[in-house]
Amino acid sequence: NNVFHKIQKMCDNKLIGINCAALICNNCISIGTECLSIDIEVILVKIYSYFYIYTIRVENFKEICDDIDVHHKLLGYSETRWLTLLPALERILKLFHPLKLYF
């Protein structure tokens, strides 16, 4: 009933299973980010956590963003959801100037 086994039979058992492709991609990305001089994942989590439950911090940051006409919403990142790494990083880069002004 497994799709992989059905395709493998159609290919005369020439296919080799590589387990979960998403897990393999996750491991590659994790190892790749270890080569960087900074830990991007930690920075994303710390920035998001700084604002996460503190309404006053969000309001102050929102005022800065409104002054320079930038959407203030930060995206969360979870280590178990590696697909959120790029969108969260892109959002931080878009908000770099307001974040720099805030801190």
Kindly report the pTM of this predicted structure.
Answer: 0.64
**Is the sign of the CA dihedral 100, 98, 61, 87 positive or negative?**
negative
The amino acid sitting at 28 is C
pLDDT score, position 27: 80
- Which residue, chain included where needed, has tokens 């930690």? 42
Residue 50: beta bridge partners?
none
Residue 50 has pLDDT above 90, yes or no: yes
Mean pLDDT throughout 61-83?
84
**Is the sign of the CA dihedral 16, 14, 1, 21 positive or negative?**
positive
**81 pLDDT band (50/70/90 cuts)?**
low
Calpha distance 2→8 (Å, rounded)? 10
